[in-house]
Structure 1
């Protein structure tokens, strides 16, 4: 079949004879006519798209997102781009529910109260039932989140740039009715994909329209949030809370402003991790490599 490159051999257990690359070493394959496939992170794909690898047929991403990768450029070179759509949906949706329940049941308070005290004041505990949640991004991941939160008898609203009707959502808004949408939300979940149109989208304009008691759960890309505006909002609204899993590296508790806020819980980049996700990803990669060899249509093909 030729050479198959990967930036993480652990994610490709069913593929033999892999050559491992990173953003620097992949440049050594410039002009190499033996390379047929690249299985990689977005960072490596961003470098590769500008290289000349004459017989490269497919770039298979580990991620569902493909921001800063140019599908049209790859198509002009005869390279298929495939992502990992539907691999992470269930795991991420479950983690969002977990994050919201941690807030509702005030885990950060209750964990200190290990002994049973019948008369302790637990009136700060709340229920998800009958609360309103707004989900930014009504695609595959947002749909799985909505499906689960609907089962909690929540009012599930969506915000999306491309659709106004999806299962499990009571209503889907767009920017025209932003004030109504944000004003209704007790919880706001961001799983919006990163595009030029969504970079910095969560800014002061948005925060000014939210409830002062809103809980924001972010499992989307960090660049969607304007950090300066978000931190200012959290500092000035002590009853607002945030659960954030948006850092590729765990932020330093001394230097990162989010880690110093008492109303913020920072998760260590675990939303998209599970044994089941690893299995789904390896199956997808293995299947696409088989299809490449046999000339069959590829799964999750962007171009």
Structure 2
């Protein structure tokens, strides 16, 4: 059986795979070789390099392991038509992403950017306008693995957490839960609004102008999920109109963000280049999910960890 990685992991990680599964033929590339793809039963990919026609070319392909949480850039229709099993690495992003979110919130609250600016100018200026995180309320859109970890860290700082998802069902480390239908009426109570939602039919452009109009003028908004949660025009209007105070963005409608994009010049926006999940342990954690799944696969068990509904997107 051929397991085809469309990226090239670190040597130590490859060696671990070869030792643990000596009967498997692993092939590692930094691109897609159609000759190999045609013979592979399992493909491991970041999810952005497989096109629709390649799904039909991959005659023996039965399982795609996506080393990412999102699958919105994959040819979902063709994969579903072929009946190919899809799994992802949901859950491995929670530590680096939660730390990134918390770092940005604390940086904003404690005015770290201002402090660094004074340092560069060698200016002893104590007129900081820092505020406290303690006692605030955070509304977290998408309280799954990542959102719950964010909630856990925020609660340690004395923050009241409100989770928001499609169902409103209970989630870990959320003091309260609401459904999407109750979002607009809950937003006025939030000091911080954080989204880690994936891109699905239910979440695309979920936030509209009326949602930002409902927020406090002092609200800190952070989008670390997907860029199609809110249109760029709606967000720029909300910032320029003072409907919210600041936006920290790690994802965008268009990526990479063009050099002439307005966000770069706006002092009410912090631009992060989609790096919140980056970690030296990213692939290590991905393989900790892949290896047990590969063992199950070899035993004929297709009920894999993080098995996805390719059409629903999660």
Change in CA separation of 1:132 and 1:50 when aligned onto 2, cut-off 3 Å: same
Q: Find the aligned partners of 1:87 and 1:120 in 2 and give their Cα distance.
A: 40
1:302 aligns with 2:301: no
The answer to whether the Cα contact below 8 Å between 1:36 and 1:55 also exists between their aligned partners in 2 is: yes
The answer to whether the Cα contact below 8 Å between 1:26 and 1:48 also exists between their aligned partners in 2 is: no
1:181 to 180, 186, 210: 186
Q: 5+ residue gaps in structure 1? A: none
Question: In angstroms, what is the RMSD of aligned CA positions?
Answer: 2.7
1:225 aligns with 2:230: yes
Q: 5+ residue gaps in structure 2? A: 19-25, 310-314
Q: Which moved more, 1:264-273 or 1:49-58?
A: 49-58
What secondary structure, in the 3-state scheme, does the structure 2 residue paired with 1:113 have? helix
Change in CA separation of 1:187 and 1:70 when aligned onto 2, cut-off 3 Å: same
Deviation readout 1:33-73 (Å, 9 max, x if unpaired): x3111111222345367414332121000111223657786
TM-score when normalising by structure 2: 0.84
1:121 aligns with 2:138: no
* Counterpart in the other structure of 2:170: 165
1:90 to 91, 95, 99: 95
Change in CA separation of 1:70 and 1:161 when aligned onto 2, cut-off 3 Å: farther
What secondary structure, in the 3-state scheme, does the structure 2 residue paired with 1:10 have? coil
Q: Find the aligned partners of 1:275 and 1:226 in 2 and give their Cα distance.
A: 32
The answer to whether the Cα contact below 8 Å between 2:167 and 2:180 also exists between their aligned partners in 1 is: no
1:282 aligns with 2:287: yes
Q: Which moved more, 1:85-94 or 1:290-299?
A: 290-299
Deviation readout 1:215-241 (Å, 9 max, x if unpaired): 111111111121111011112218611
Q: Alpha-carbon deviation of 1:84?
A: 0.7
Q: Find the aligned partners of 2:186 and 2:70 in 1 and give their Cα distance.
A: 25
Deviation readout 1:190-236 (Å, 9 max, x if unpaired): 10111112111122121111111111111111111211110111122
Change in CA separation of 1:251 and 1:67 when aligned onto 2, cut-off 3 Å: closer
What secondary structure, in the 3-state scheme, does the structure 1 residue paired with 2:214 have? coil
**1:1-303 maps to which residues of 2 (within 5 A)?**
1=1, 3-10=2-9, 13=14, 14-15=16-17, 17-20=26-29, 22=31, 25=32, 32=38, 34-45=39-50, 47=52, 50-67=55-72, 69=74, 74=79, 77-114=82-119, 117=124, 120-122=126-128, 124-237=129-242, 240-247=245-252, 249-252=255-258, 254-297=259-302, 298-302=304-308
Instruction: Work out the number of aligned pairs and report it.
Output: 295
The answer to whether the Cα contact below 8 Å between 1:62 and 1:84 also exists between their aligned partners in 2 is: yes
Change in CA separation of 1:280 and 1:93 when aligned onto 2, cut-off 3 Å: same
Change in CA separation of 1:162 and 1:68 when aligned onto 2, cut-off 3 Å: farther
Q: Find the aligned partners of 1:233 and 1:66 in 2 and give their Cα distance.
A: 29
What secondary structure, in the 3-state scheme, does the structure 2 residue paired with 1:243 have? strand
The answer to whether the Cα contact below 8 Å between 2:52 and 2:78 also exists between their aligned partners in 1 is: no
Q: Find the aligned partners of 1:26 and 1:218 in 2 and give their Cα distance.
A: 35
Change in CA separation of 1:162 and 1:27 when aligned onto 2, cut-off 3 Å: farther
TM-score when normalising by structure 1: 0.86
What secondary structure, in the 3-state scheme, does the structure 2 residue paired with 1:9 have? coil
Q: Find the aligned partners of 1:130 and 1:272 in 2 and give their Cα distance.
A: 27
Q: Which moved more, 1:139-148 or 1:170-179?
A: 170-179
